[in-house]
Structure 1
Amino acid sequence: MSRTSTITERAFDAVADTDRTGGLNEFQQDAEPGNFFRHAASLSMTKTADGLNDPKLVLSWLLTSLGAPAFWIGLLVPVREAGALLPQLFTAPRIHAMERRKWAWAGGSAVQGLAALGTVWAGLSLDGTAAGITIVALLGILALARSVCSVSYKDILGKTVGKTRRGTVTGLASSLSSAAVIAFALVLMTGVGDRFTVVVAAIALAGALWLIAAALFSTLKEGKSDTKKPEAPFRAALEQLSLLKTAPELRLFILSRGLLVGTALAPPFLVVMASDAGQEAFQQLGALVLASSAAAFLSSYVWGRLADRSSRQVLILSGIAGGAALALAVVFDLSGLMGTVWAAPLVLFGLMLAYNGVRQGRSTYLVDMGPSDKRAEYTAVSNTVIGVILLASGLFGAVAANFGAVWTVALFAAMSFAGAATAFRLSEVQAD
């Protein structure tokens, strides 16, 4: 690349593989160093906000402390996960019709920030059922905004960051954000300050970070995209779903990704296993946050660099690692070791290492696999199918209720190994 050597460009050369153009045009090549760090900074802020506003841990604790019924607490994770994925099939055509799609991401981030600040208001003003209804509704709005960010981001990343740097920038952002969430986890575990005040302040900080990220991302130098008039939403959705028939590589990728969802769904069941074995569930809450953040901090950048070389191999390795960690949990439970102070954190740490590999591998693979004019559609179809799978994730809770959490974890382990085996059949999309 013919560029004057600025501080930004030297830093870019230091942290990323810049030997190849990565398929960018001349305008985007010149803008890439600055765009790389805009991506890294914006993503690190939104990923930190995700950790501070985590529905599995933080919002569940908040609703419990506000006396909300269990029904509303149980809706948090399904609303957050499925709400962020299912609408993408309908929003993708509209976003694909935009010349500059950074505005979709920036708008989605801003709405997430406002929803988080609304949660702070609800936590300070409401309690009981009213708090449950309001916070779940705000989480639904946040999830819809997140879906806009998700379906637009892969295409923006593909346009503004070269093919050999995409995993690096997302991995760098994950590692930076993890340091902040580790600090939050330590505060939770040490009990510094009033816990309710700490949690509400963390959610307020999350809202501010989403708003700042929106402002920063709006400065991204994004060239115009080729556009076409969007079709009627349902017709467009049906046409996009036809990719499952015409794109066998996408179909195989979705199968592998679907089998690997166990790495994301397993942590709450590990907490149940530890609690059943005699440890306090509340203690495991802090350990879960710490294990997740520490694993992301240590591994995300490494996984990202590996994904730029072969995202297929990252999916294989992380699937095997996730299956091994979950199988170890089953062994610990059956042998009576799960009640020890070190067993659950060890398993959680190993599982989160694998989970971050799955996230980096699937994200990079999807961007590099999809044709430049089909990235939004590939992303929407993949996320919609996974959203349906997550909606059905209540079946795993039924298995745990009837047969015990250990059998649910064993099922997740088998799924992870199967996901790795399926990923083995994928093509090497970084080979070109």
Structure 2
Amino acid sequence: MLEKLYKFLNNEKEKRTCKDITEDACKHVPKNYFIILLSNVFTKLGDTLSNPKTVLTWLMSYVNAPVFLISLIVPIRESGSMVPQIFIASYINKHSTRKWFWVIGAIIQFLAIASIGIIVLNFKNETAGYLIILAVIIFSLARSLSSLTSKDIIGKTIPKTRRGRLKGYTVSVSGVLVLAAGLLIMYKSKSNATIDFYSYLIFFAALTWLISAIIYSRIKEFPNDVDEDSKDKSNFISKLKLLKTDTNFRNFVIARSLLLCSALTAPYYVILAQKYVGKESYLLGLFIIAKGVASIISSPFWGKLADKSSKNVMAIAVLIASVLGIMIFIIISYFETIRTINWIYPLSFFILGIAHGGVRLGRKTYIVDMAKGNQRTDYVSVSNTIIGLILLVTGGLSALVSLLSIEIVILILSIFGLIGAYRSYLLPNVEK
């Protein structure tokens, strides 16, 4: 049954495609495909229900945390999951099987998110804000372990030209569950959803990582070559030499650093909605529904396109996010009547969700297809660490500027996104 479903989803009519994986791994592709899909569906659901751009932003505002702390949660979560990767890559390279690193990371993420539910039930104001930031830091460090190993495992178990579709189907299926969660929040808003409801939502989000860890442990992973020379290449400076010696990789990192607008602008859309429309809980439901519908509609399209040209997916997606950001700046700055319309913000978040989904799927597919073997772990660790450091700087500056003007932050990030679209388009096509 899995074999037939796999062939149907990937449009395989004859012999199974096993490009860029071993013969042993080829025999278990359908099983591993659906294990990864199901496991990632749960983590995607958990990500949405505890998303710093929507739910955590909303929660921190609900408990009256300072705006500058709210502005920091996205860069801290994203950079915290990236910066440590260059330091742990060498240790991971010494192990021939790596799925257990992912499982351990998922369990720690479960504990970190559950702690946020406890915090919002017991603390308010700055205290709650700082404690949530601490939990997000722990979550991010665990996420770095899972993020680094997940791309390596996909590269070992799923053939090239099938990886983009796997990511697309994953996001699409999780989008259905996210849509249901958004509808539930809207329903509860009629009875004035309390902080208890939101904390239970966080507890449920935490549980998804525990379920995902159990599922992921069932992957059939075959040992790969161990990097015996990792001690000689383990220091930070030597790994950074990849940026000097590998032109294609360097250009990818530059392009990716300019794609951050789709991630960094998202919480500001939520803050603008709270500022000009209000803090009614139905709005949070609309934001989550918008994200879910965006995933359902766009992910299969992005996935199929990424298997043909992932660099074009990056370029098109960030272009959409950038144009949207410029339009929002114009509306907020010059059209006072329009900026108080409540549906403007969920609609914008829906479009941003489509764009950000394309950016994420495109860049993940690109780096997996660009590298081979242990090179993949080095590529991922170096690029994520560099992007994490850039996120810390740009996120900190954005948090400061947001104290003066939120719409200015969106405009600046969107302009960088336009440059990123051009740089992405110039990258070589690695799928051929």
TM-score for the superposition, normalised by structure 2: 0.91
Do the aligned residues in 2 keep the contact of 1:322 with 1:350 (CA within 8 Å)?
A: yes
Do the aligned residues in 1 keep the contact of 2:53 with 2:266 (CA within 8 Å)?
A: no
Could you give the per-residue CA deviations for residues 96-127 of structure 1, whole angstroms, max 9, x where no partner exists? 21111111111111111122223333344555
Could you give the per-residue CA deviations for residues 146-191 of structure 1, whole angstroms, max 9, x where no partner exists? 0000111111000000101101111111111122222222233341
In structure 2, the partner of 1:149 is: 146
Are 1:179 and 2:173 an aligned pair?
Answer: no
Match of 1:16 among 10, 17, 20: 10
In structure 1, the partner of 2:289 is: 290
CA distance in 1, matches of 2:123, 2:343: 38
Do the aligned residues in 2 keep the contact of 1:303 with 1:360 (CA within 8 Å)?
A: yes
Match of 1:401 among 382, 400, 403: 403
Q: Measured at CA, do residues 76 and 269 of structure 1 come closer, stay the same or move farther in structure 2, by a change above 3 Å?
A: closer
CA distance in 2, matches of 1:66, 1:399: 23
Q: CA deviation at 1:52?
A: 1.1
Q: Measured at CA, do residues 82 and 233 of structure 1 come closer, stay the same or move farther in structure 2, by a change above 3 Å?
A: farther
CA distance in 2, matches of 1:343, 1:66: 25
Q: CA deviation at 1:247?
A: 1.1
Do the aligned residues in 2 keep the contact of 1:17 with 1:165 (CA within 8 Å)?
A: no
CA distance in 1, matches of 2:366, 2:80: 23
CA distance in 2, matches of 1:157, 1:180: 23
Q: CA deviation at 1:197?
A: 2.5
Q: Measured at CA, do residues 124 and 229 of structure 1 come closer, stay the same or move farther in structure 2, by a change above 3 Å?
A: farther
Match of 1:43 among 40, 45, 50: 40
Q: Measured at CA, do residues 290 and 142 of structure 1 come closer, stay the same or move farther in structure 2, by a change above 3 Å?
A: same
Deviates more, 1:225-234 or 1:282-291: 225-234
In structure 2, the partner of 1:343 is: 344
Q: Which amino acid aligns with 1:103?
A: W
CA distance in 1, matches of 2:6, 2:239: 36
Q: Which amino acid aligns with 1:62?
A: L
Q: CA deviation at 1:94?
A: 1.0
CA distance in 2, matches of 1:308, 1:161: 12
CA distance in 2, matches of 1:47, 1:149: 13
Q: Measured at CA, do residues 136 and 412 of structure 1 come closer, stay the same or move farther in structure 2, by a change above 3 Å?
A: closer
Could you give the per-residue CA deviations for residues 30-64 of structure 1, whole angstroms, max 9, x where no partner exists? 10000000010010101111111122332344345
**1:106-185 alignment, distance < 5 Å:** 106-127=103-124, 131-185=128-182
Do the aligned residues in 1 keep the contact of 2:108 with 2:142 (CA within 8 Å)?
A: yes
Do the aligned residues in 1 keep the contact of 2:317 with 2:356 (CA within 8 Å)?
A: yes
Q: CA deviation at 1:311?
A: 0.4
**1:45-124 alignment, distance < 5 Å:** 45-66=42-63, 73-124=70-121
In structure 2, the partner of 1:260 is: 259
Do the aligned residues in 2 keep the contact of 1:272 with 1:281 (CA within 8 Å)?
A: no
**Structure 1 gap segments, 5+ residues each:** 1-6
Q: CA deviation at 1:339?
A: 2.5
CA distance in 1, matches of 2:180, 2:194: 14
CA distance in 2, matches of 1:132, 1:275: 18
Q: Which amino acid aligns with 1:114?
A: L
Q: Measured at CA, do residues 287 and 394 of structure 1 come closer, stay the same or move farther in structure 2, by a change above 3 Å?
A: farther
Q: Measured at CA, do residues 130 and 418 of structure 1 come closer, stay the same or move farther in structure 2, by a change above 3 Å?
A: closer
Q: Measured at CA, do residues 311 and 75 of structure 1 come closer, stay the same or move farther in structure 2, by a change above 3 Å?
A: closer
Do the aligned residues in 1 keep the contact of 2:287 with 2:346 (CA within 8 Å)?
A: yes
**Matched residue count:** 423
Do the aligned residues in 1 keep the contact of 2:99 with 2:153 (CA within 8 Å)?
A: yes
Do the aligned residues in 2 keep the contact of 1:396 with 1:408 (CA within 8 Å)?
A: yes
Do the aligned residues in 1 keep the contact of 2:43 with 2:212 (CA within 8 Å)?
A: yes
Do the aligned residues in 1 keep the contact of 2:87 with 2:234 (CA within 8 Å)?
A: no
Do the aligned residues in 2 keep the contact of 1:83 with 1:143 (CA within 8 Å)?
A: yes
Do the aligned residues in 2 keep the contact of 1:96 with 1:227 (CA within 8 Å)?
A: yes
CA distance in 1, matches of 2:173, 2:133: 29
CA distance in 1, matches of 2:330, 2:117: 41
Q: Measured at CA, do residues 195 and 304 of structure 1 come closer, stay the same or move farther in structure 2, by a change above 3 Å?
A: farther
CA distance in 2, matches of 1:407, 1:370: 38
SS in 2 for 1:318: helix
Q: CA deviation at 1:418?
A: 1.1
CA RMSD of aligned residues (A): 2.3
CA distance in 2, matches of 1:225, 1:130: 46
Do the aligned residues in 2 keep the contact of 1:103 with 1:218 (CA within 8 Å)?
A: yes
TM-score for the superposition, normalised by structure 1: 0.91
In structure 2, the partner of 1:303 is: 302
Q: Which amino acid aligns with 2:278?
A: E
Q: CA deviation at 1:261?
A: 0.6
Q: CA deviation at 1:71?
A: 6.3
CA distance in 2, matches of 1:80, 1:401: 20
Do the aligned residues in 1 keep the contact of 2:55 with 2:284 (CA within 8 Å)?
A: no
Sequence identity percentage: 33
Q: CA deviation at 1:72?
A: 5.2
Do the aligned residues in 1 keep the contact of 2:318 with 2:418 (CA within 8 Å)?
A: yes
Q: Measured at CA, do residues 332 and 72 of structure 1 come closer, stay the same or move farther in structure 2, by a change above 3 Å?
A: closer
Q: Measured at CA, do residues 73 and 351 of structure 1 come closer, stay the same or move farther in structure 2, by a change above 3 Å?
A: closer
Q: Which amino acid aligns with 1:312?
A: K
The one of the two structures with greater contact order (alpha-carbon pairs below 8 A, sep at least 6) is 2
**1:402-417 alignment, distance < 5 Å:** 402=404, 404-417=405-418
**Structure 2 gap segments, 5+ residues each:** none
Q: Measured at CA, do residues 131 and 415 of structure 1 come closer, stay the same or move farther in structure 2, by a change above 3 Å?
A: closer
Do the aligned residues in 2 keep the contact of 1:97 with 1:230 (CA within 8 Å)?
A: no
Are 1:361 and 2:362 an aligned pair?
Answer: yes
Q: CA deviation at 1:275?
A: 5.1
